[in-house]
């Protein structure tokens, strides 16, 4: 999978780049409008991350260009939190999703994967991890061919964990993934614990494997045993 | 007081004063002239009678107009003097005010007393007449001013009032087009106001751009810090102390970014953005949000009681949802375990009450920014300010009272 990250802020660009490389994406970066424009014209990409605010141009204009040059590319907008207008304009122009700063890298990963699945780049709607097979079309998850009875939130959580396997996820980032940013959860991370606990129990009941490692004080990690 | 009224009252006072002075002068000169004229007439009359006596040796009496009588001869000089007095007039059967000239003259060796009289007006007659005229002049003046007032506010002040209405409705999102006036002062006012509004708009746009940029600039470093701290967490060799420091930093970073977000939302609301309104089914929206918050209600084992009647309001749906979510967040955050939330929606009122162990002297103060019941709590202290501001923007009234340990928010649409 080929990804282009258009972000003018070096530190942010670098952390996204190294994170995506770790996730085995082929990652290219562009730090300005012109550079991005040049690269879009040169290679086809599967996913393009676009920061709306660039020093030498508006990311929205880039989205228009991408739609002309490389219309199959999935587009993920990175926008400032308060620019609702930009977000709506971006989606109208054909972007697939948006993410607001500050974001969790795990969330970027989940969003990219969701776009790829929607665009069927993977050729399959099955997501596999060890004994677990998730059918994204049928919205079912199986462990050793036995169906896991999951609530909608638990299903979302499982996908997020599988996509971000082998990574420490903080409770905050999981909470934000599950309940957006609208719910004031600063005092309420127990809910994440409740969902994690239920999911762990349901998987344990079938194959006895505990994929969900609690990293004390930090969060959780989904890892093969 | 209207400017035109003020000017008219001033004009009226000055004109009244002048009319009064004119009245006094009129009285003074009129009486003087008439006095002189009458005295002159009386002297002529007397002379005429004296000539007649001298010529014919006879005289007649016609009281009270003239009376002549012979006096014992005295070789004194002629003399005359004037008197003003009341005399009973049998013809009129009333007392009349007369001026008389009493003269004693020696004619043909005889001494005569000749009295000639003329009816004159009493001084109060003059005052009454002049006063009467002044009174009606003043009354007509006031009437005239009222009529002028009425018409000039219809004509001269029309454009001014129109422009004033435009200013009252001024909103940064719309341009103001003043109506041209033919009056120089109003033209200047329009010109200056136009420039002022242009400047305000420019300042506002600059400020808006600044706050948008500021927020973008803050969000980017926050995003970088957050990503890098989360990357640090991936390190398997972290000591528990190090990981605690990192997670605490992340929590505070989260607080910083929600603070930033709320402040920006507040300033946008204050700038009267989010003006697009549509019909919103409020009960449906509340029910949808209850579903969204269900896990939080269940988490604290909060019992939610609903009495929602069908209710459609004209509102901005984006901010309305933010308001409902903030109300819910507040009602959950400050609730007790196994507590209660009651919601009532009927007519044009939405009442949300919740149990809480927080005691507040003046709950309404909590609408102020950064007011927290508990300073160490995790809240930004902006949630209730946001709710208040959204209500203000819609022209709704919100009250917050505590009764029987229930915290009650009441919004009147």
**pLDDT mean across residues, chain B:** 86
Tell me the shortest Cα–Cα distance from A196 to chain B, in angstroms: 14
pLDDT at A123 > cutoff 60 = no
pLDDT at A46 > cutoff 60 = yes
Question: Which residues on B lie below 8 Å from A7 (Cβ)?
Answer: none
State mean pLDDT over B378-386: 83
Give the three-state DSSP class for B59.
coil
Is the minimum CB–CB distance between B264 and chain A shorter than 8 Å? yes
Determine the pLDDT at residue B376. 58
Calculate Rg over the CA atoms of chain B: 48
Tell me the shortest Cα–Cα distance from B216 to chain A, in angstroms: 5
pLDDT at B77 > cutoff 60 = yes
- Among candidates A90, A81, A18, which has minimal Cα distance to A50? A90
What proportion of chain B, given as a percentage, has pLDDT over 70?
Answer: 98
State mean pLDDT over B157-173: 84
Question: Which residues on B lie below 8 Å from A217 (Cβ)?
Answer: 240, 243-244, 247
Return the number of other C-beta atoms located less than 10 Å from residue B411's C-beta.
21
Question: Which residues on A lie below 8 Å from B318 (Cβ)?
Answer: 84
- Structure-token match 């003006």, residue found: B275
pLDDT at A182 > cutoff 70 = no
Q: How many CB pairs under 8 A join A and B?
A: 115
Are residues A12 and B227, on separate chains, in Cβ contact within 8 Å? Answer: yes
Substitution target from B216, B229, B291, B322 for chain A, most A beta carbons within 10 A? B216
Residue B341's H or E segment, with its range, is strand B340-346
Is the minimum CB–CB distance between A165 and chain B shorter than 8 Å? no
State mean pLDDT over B233-243: 87
Question: Which residues on B lie below 8 Å from A81 (Cβ)?
Answer: 215, 219, 257, 260-261, 264
- How far is it between the farthest Cα atoms of chain A? 56
Q: Which residue of B has its CA nearest to A14?
A: B224
Count CA atoms closer than 13 A to A195's CA, side-chain side. 25
Is the minimum CB–CB distance between A216 and chain B shorter than 8 Å? yes
- How far is it between the farthest Cα atoms of chain B? 159
**Residues in B 298-327 with any Cβ partner in A closer than 8 A:** 299, 318, 325
Substitution target from B211, B227, B253 for chain A, most A beta carbons within 10 A? B227
Of residues B14 and B204, more confidently modeled: B14
Are residues A101 and B378, on separate chains, in Cβ contact within 8 Å? Answer: no
Residues paired with B339 in a beta bridge: none
Q: Give yes or no for a contact between B269 and B211, defined as CB atoms under 8 angstroms apart.
A: no
Return the number of other C-beta atoms located less than 10 Å from residue B69's C-beta.
11
At A112, is the pLDDT very low, low, confident or very high (cuts 50, 70, 90)?
very high
Q: Measured between alpha carbons, how far is residue A220 from residues A21, A110, A127, A200, B182 in Å?
A: 22, 16, 20, 11, 76
Determine the pLDDT at residue B377. 66
Span of A28-37, B46-55, B56-65, B111-120 with lowest mean pLDDT:
B56-65
Residues paired with A78 in a beta bridge: A51, A99
Are residues B219 and A101, on separate chains, in Cβ contact within 8 Å? Answer: yes
Return the number of other C-beta atoms located less than 10 Å from residue B374's C-beta.
9
Determine the pLDDT at residue B243. 87
pLDDT at B315 > cutoff 90 = yes
- Structure-token match 């990293």, residue found: A215
At A29, is the pLDDT very low, low, confident or very high (cuts 50, 70, 90)?
very high
Interior angle at CA A123, CA A119 and CA A129, nearest 5: 105
Span of A91-105, B25-39, B148-162, B282-296 with lowest mean pLDDT:
B148-162
Give pLDDT tens digits for B256-314: 888 888 887 887 787 777 888 899 999 999 999 998 888 788 878 899 999 999 999 99
Backbone angles phi, psi at B381, to 5 degrees: 80, 15
For residue A15, give the nearest of B231, B378, B379 by CB distance.
Answer: B231
Are residues A217 and B251, on separate chains, in Cβ contact within 8 Å? Answer: no
Determine the pLDDT at residue A76. 95
Are residues A104 and B230, on separate chains, in Cβ contact within 8 Å? Answer: yes
Span of A57-66, B16-25, B57-66 with lowest mean pLDDT:
B57-66
Distance (Å, whole) CA B358 – CA B364: 14
- Among candidates B50, B295, B409, B223, which has minimal Cα distance to A53? B223
Strand order through the sheet with A140-143: A126-129, A132-135, A140-143, A146-148
């Amino acid at each position: 999978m080929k990804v282009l990250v258009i972000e003018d802020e070096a530190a942010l660009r670098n952390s996204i780049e190294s994170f995506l490389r770790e996730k085995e994406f082929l990652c290219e970066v562009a730090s300005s409008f012109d550079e991005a424009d040049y690269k879009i014209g040169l290679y086809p990409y599967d996913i393009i991350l676009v920061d709306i605010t660039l020093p030498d141009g508006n990311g929205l204009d880039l989205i228009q260009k991408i739609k002309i040059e490389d219309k199959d590319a999935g587009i993920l907008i990175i926008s400032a939190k308060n620019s609702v207008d930009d977000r709506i304009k971006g989606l109208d122009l054909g972007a697939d999703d948006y993410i607001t700063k500050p974001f969790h890298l795990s969330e970027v990963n989940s969003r990219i994967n969701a776009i790829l699945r929607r665009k069927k780049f993977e050729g399959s709607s099955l997501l596999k991890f060890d004994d677990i097979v998730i059918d994204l079309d049928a919205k079912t998850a199986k462990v050793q061919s036995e169906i896991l009875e999951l609530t909608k939130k638990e299903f979302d959580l499982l996908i997020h964990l599988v996509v971000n396997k082998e990574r420490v996820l903080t409770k905050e980032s999981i909470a934000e993934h599950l309940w957006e940013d609208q719910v004031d959860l600063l005092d309420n991370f127990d809910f994440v614990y409740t969902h994690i606990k239920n999911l762990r129990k349901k998987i344990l009941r079938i194959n006895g494997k505990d994929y969900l490692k609690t990293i004390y004080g930090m969060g959780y990690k989904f890892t093969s045993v | 007081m209207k400017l035109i009224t003020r000017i008219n009252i001033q004009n009226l006072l000055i004109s009244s004063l002048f009319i009064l002075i004119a009245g006094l002068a009129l009285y003074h000169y009129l009486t003087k002239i008439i006095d002189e004229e009458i005295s002159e007439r009386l002297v002529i009359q007397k002379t005429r009678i004296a000539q007649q006596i001298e010529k014919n040796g006879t005289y007649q009496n016609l009281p009270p107009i003239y009376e002549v009588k012979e006096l014992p001869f005295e070789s004194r000089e002629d003399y005359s003097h004037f008197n003003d007095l009341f005399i009973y007039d049998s013809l009129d059967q009333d007392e009349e005010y007369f001026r008389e000239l009493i003269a004693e003259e020696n004619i043909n060796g005889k001494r005569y007393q000749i009295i000639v009289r003329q009816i004159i007006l009493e001084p109060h007659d003059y005052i009454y007449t002049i006063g009467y005229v002044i009174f009606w002049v003043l009354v007509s003046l006031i009437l005239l001013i009222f009529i002028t007032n009425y018409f000039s506010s219809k004509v001269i002040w029309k454009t001014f009032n129109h422009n004033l209405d435009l200013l009252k409705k001024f909103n940064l999102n719309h341009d103001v087009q003043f109506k041209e006036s033919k009056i120089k002062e109003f033209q200047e006012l329009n010109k200056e106001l136009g420039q002022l509004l242009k400047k305000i708009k420019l300042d506002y746009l600059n400020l808006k751009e600044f706050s948008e940029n500021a927020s973008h600039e803050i969000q980017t470093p926050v995003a970088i810090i957050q990503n890098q701290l989360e990357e640090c967490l991936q390190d398997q060799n972290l000591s528990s102390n190090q990981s605690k420091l990192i997670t605490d930093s992340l929590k505070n970073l989260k607080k910083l970014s929600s603070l930033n977000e709320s402040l920006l939302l507040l300033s946008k609301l204050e700038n009267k953005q989010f003006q697009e309104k549509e019909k919103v089914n409020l009960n449906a929206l509340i029910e949808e949000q209850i579903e969204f918050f269900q896990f939080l209600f269940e988490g604290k084992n909060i019992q939610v009681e609903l009495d929602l009647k069908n209710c459609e309001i004209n509102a901005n749906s984006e901010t309305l949802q933010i308001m409902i979510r903030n109300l819910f967040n507040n009602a959950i955050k400050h609730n007790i375990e196994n507590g209660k939330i009651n919601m009532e929606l009927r007519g044009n009122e939405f009442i949300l009450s919740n149990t809480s162990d927080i005691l507040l002297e003046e709950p309404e103060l909590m609408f102020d920014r950064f007011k927290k019941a508990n300073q160490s709590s995790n809240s930004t202290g902006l949630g209730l300010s946001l709710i208040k501001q959204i209500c203000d923007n819609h022209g709704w009234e919100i009250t917050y009272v505590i009764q029987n340990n229930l915290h009650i928010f009441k919004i009147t649409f």
